[in-house]
A and B are shown apart, each in its own frame.
Chain A
Amino acid sequence: MTQVTRDIDPADARDLLERPARACLAFAGPAGPQAQPVTLTMRDGRYFVAIPESTGVRPEPGQEVVLLVDDGVHYFDLRAIYVRGHAQPAQAPASVRPALAWLEVVPVKTVAWDYGAMRAVDDGH
């Protein structure tokens, strides 16, 4: 039996991390879920995100977060990397303005999808 999947190896979506069209961090804030746009930088395979210091609500150290980097508008152009992990305070890269608070997203689970790479796969049954 086969089934159709849109899932891909996150390593195959590395170009999405090099030129992210949309990147946001989701976490639980005091008033509910927060969707926070972030600046994303990858260093040595690690995910670093920045939020303006002026942002009132930020994840606490160790708090569970989800980083979503996605791209595309039309169906077969839609693709994304979804990283569930924990936020840890991080040092700012030397070259950037200090008005940003940097966090590392330490991944626990990473998945990726690409509707343009849709294919049939053996479902093991």
Chain B
Amino acid sequence: MGIDDPAARAILRCAMVARLATLSGSGRPSVTPLYFVCRAGHVWLGTPVWTLAVRDVKADPRVSLLFNVEGAPGDGRLLRLAGRATVRTDAEAQRSYVWRVALKYSLSPGGLWSQLAHLRLLPLQRRYRAQSAARGPGAVIDVTPEGVELLGAWVVRGIGGSSGQN
């Protein structure tokens, strides 16, 4: 299965937050939830250049990504993608990513509604982003898929719960 397989595309269309698993140069694991967009068969994830995810990808380009279907309670389909990543900080990638991610998230009806519901936090958000920018610019983690798996339905339960894969 590839990223252009209809089943994979259907999940990627509905997925909103990717979980990016990486390894440090010494082999220590990490996982980061990130916004993403798909572009020309690649997955682009945005994060500041100073983050652990970027440092890890620079040290070891191998990544594993998980995507799940959002907005459809009971739909436990998951997609896992293995690939290799590069870190892009060029202006073209930044512009393209920022525009695409704005359309997908902050300028979407749900995104606009969420901002209206949190108006009092917008000044803090601006300060938080300025703090981050002072540490370094944004980066795009550009993932070239090498393998894609459909994991089927998965139910996650909480305290005292139990579940399984269908």
Contact = CB atoms under 8 A, between A and B. Distances in A.
Contact of B159 (A17, A66, A76, A96): A17
Interface string B140-166: 000000000001001111111111110
A11 B28 CA distance: 25
B111 interface: yes
Interface of B: 16-17, 19-23, 27-33, 60, 62-66, 68, 70-71, 78, 80, 82, 105-106, 110-111, 114-115, 117-118, 121, 124-125, 127-128, 131, 151, 154-165
By DSSP majority rule, is chain B's interface helix, strand, loop, or mixed? mixed
Given A39-B157, A65-B29, 17 more contacts: A20-B157, A24-B31, A28-B29, A33-B63, A34-B21, A34-B29, A34-B64, A37-B156, A42-B158, A66-B29, A66-B30, A66-B31, A75-B105, A75-B115, A97-B164, A116-B118, A120-B127
Contact of B124 (A18, A95, A120): A120
By DSSP majority rule, is chain A's interface helix, strand, loop, or mixed? strand
